[in-house]
Structure 1
């Protein structure tokens, strides 16, 4: 599958999908507790950021202050595509929804406040329809 670069096709084909569960951002120094299955890791000077299911963080005694819903944009976006993140973030920002974006090799992943995740999916679906 060839990654998409055209912004119009990226937006009309994004097919936002809400993954089940609640996800949290936490940070650890040193080796993370065993048994965790983070969906995202980011190495920072201050420690290793982990994005994982809230239940895993709770079981490991890890602190967090943000509970998110995880939305995957199902379009295969090219890593050098221009404008998708800006368009999605703007649509959500206009509705007062925070958005933390992580790019995977095939898809973009959005972490939004869990209590507004369904609303965020609806807004993104509307953006795709308006673009098409």
Structure 2
């Protein structure tokens, strides 16, 4: 399967995640589980909730066994409160995407997708998909009641 077909399949799966979600957090967890399964469980995925106290880990998949350096890949370069769009960090064979999720002008969550020691090459297609994913999450967040 080529990358374009793979990402189209991911778009369909993300739509299903929304259909079955009961809350925004559940929706994001379902998205992470979908990405994790599609990546044959080779991706490391996290959701951090952002507040005035900083970032707090809410959910993680595949994080077990990572070194501290792998776990925090790219975080030293990011200023979450200023991150307005998907960001990409690469170090050797390790890659990370950071997807900020806003409610209005307020950063609420940061989703990370990390590929550690991976042959998969993150391309512009992946960055476009990641930005679409953020926009979809933000567009649907008002449909969930707190």
Which has the higher relative contact order, 1 or 2, with Cα contacts under 8 A spaced 6 or more apart?
A: 1
Higher helix share: 2
Per the normalisation by structure 2, the TM-score is 0.27
Per the normalisation by structure 1, the TM-score is 0.29
Higher gyration radius (CA): 1
